[in-house]
């Protein structure tokens, strides 16, 4: 099983690394970070750089595609090289997935037209504008398309995907090895549970957060 995680400038690191650490733990899995060119790719804050080990052109037919999100995705929504790669790879993939605003890239490539999909809670309207049917689940599956909500939801998505790829027992073993028994100190992880004022403040800063 070959999984390719697509990197681009100003991606969000956890979107990529959460799924990486789950999928790379599956028996027989090969997980490759790929970008237009191999080399270091900086996140949206510019203080984290992850190496892309392959050019996208060198990995045209992964079994699993993972597209992380991050403010940088907006600069790639008309990047025909990237969108073309996504369409070609998707034509042969077993699973095409995204985390956070990565789904805006899948939608920009035309892959989510009429499909139920999710994204960061601040980007659901934008996803709808690109032809997807926005859904608010943490992990939304429509056929072979699996999309996750914001950033940390990539962990949950990758475990769901691990179960599909390798069975429940293997996925549970990976969860236990990663000790994924989450206990956040606050009830603030979704707009439904966070204090209203905190959600409103993020809504007011939506453009700065997402772009």
Residues binding its own copies (CB under 8 A): 12-14, 17-18, 20-21, 24, 30-33, 40, 45, 47-51, 53, 100, 120-121, 138-139, 149-153, 155-156, 159-160, 163, 168-169, 171-173, 175-186, 188-191, 193-195, 198-199, 201-202, 209
Shortest reach from residue 30's CB to its own copies, in Å: 7
Shortest reach from residue 186's CB to its own copies, in Å: 5
Nearest alpha-carbon partner for 83 in 116, 113, 110: 110
Nearer to its own copies, 41 or 109 (CB): 41
Nearer to its own copies, 55 or 79 (CB): 55
CA 112 to each of CA 76, 90, 166, 174, 176: distance values in angstroms, whole numbers, following the listed order: 16, 11, 25, 29, 33
Write down the H helix ranges in 25-120. Answer: 80-90, 102-108
d(CA 151, CA 200): 19
Shortest reach from residue 47's CB to its own copies, in Å: 6
Q: Quick count: other Cβ atoms within 10 Å of Cβ 23?
A: 24
Would you call 177 a catalytic residue per the annotation? no
Nearer to its own copies, 6 or 83 (CB): 6
Nearer to its own copies, 14 or 130 (CB): 14
* Residue 140, H or E segment: strand 139-142
Shortest reach from residue 87's CB to its own copies, in Å: 26
Q: Give the CA angle between residues 70, 71, 74 to the nearest 5°.
A: 110
d(CA 58, CA 44): 25
The active-site residue out of 31, 41, 82, 100 is 100
Q: Which residues are catalytic?
A: 100
């Amino acid at each position: 099983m070959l999984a390719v995680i697509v990197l681009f400038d100003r991606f969000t690191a956890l979107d990529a690394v959460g799924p990486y650490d789950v999928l790379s733990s599956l028996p027989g899995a090969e997980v490759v970070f790929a970008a237009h060119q191999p080399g270091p790719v900086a996140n949206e804050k510019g203080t984290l750089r992850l190496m892309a080990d392959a050019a996208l052109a060198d990995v045209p037919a992964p079994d699993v595609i993972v597209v992380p999100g991050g403010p940088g995705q907006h600069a790639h929504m008309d990047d025909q090289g990237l969108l073309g790669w996504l369409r070609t790879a998707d034509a042969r993939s077993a699973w095409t997935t995204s985390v956070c605003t990565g789904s805006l890239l899948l939608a920009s490539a035309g892959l989510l037209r009429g499909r139920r999909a999710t994204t960061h809670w601040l980007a659901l309207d934008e996803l709808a504008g690109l032809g997807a049917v926005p859904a608010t689940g943490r992990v939304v599956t429509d056929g072979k398309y699996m999309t996750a909500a914001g950033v940390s939801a990539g962990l949950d998505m990758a475990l769901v995907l691990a179960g599909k790829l390798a069975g429940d027992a293997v996925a549970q073993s990976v969860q236990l090895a990663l000790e994924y028994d989450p206990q956040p100190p606050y009830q603030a992880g979704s707009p439904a549970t966070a204090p209203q004022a905190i959600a409103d403040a993020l809504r007011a800063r939506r453009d700065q957060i997402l772009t």
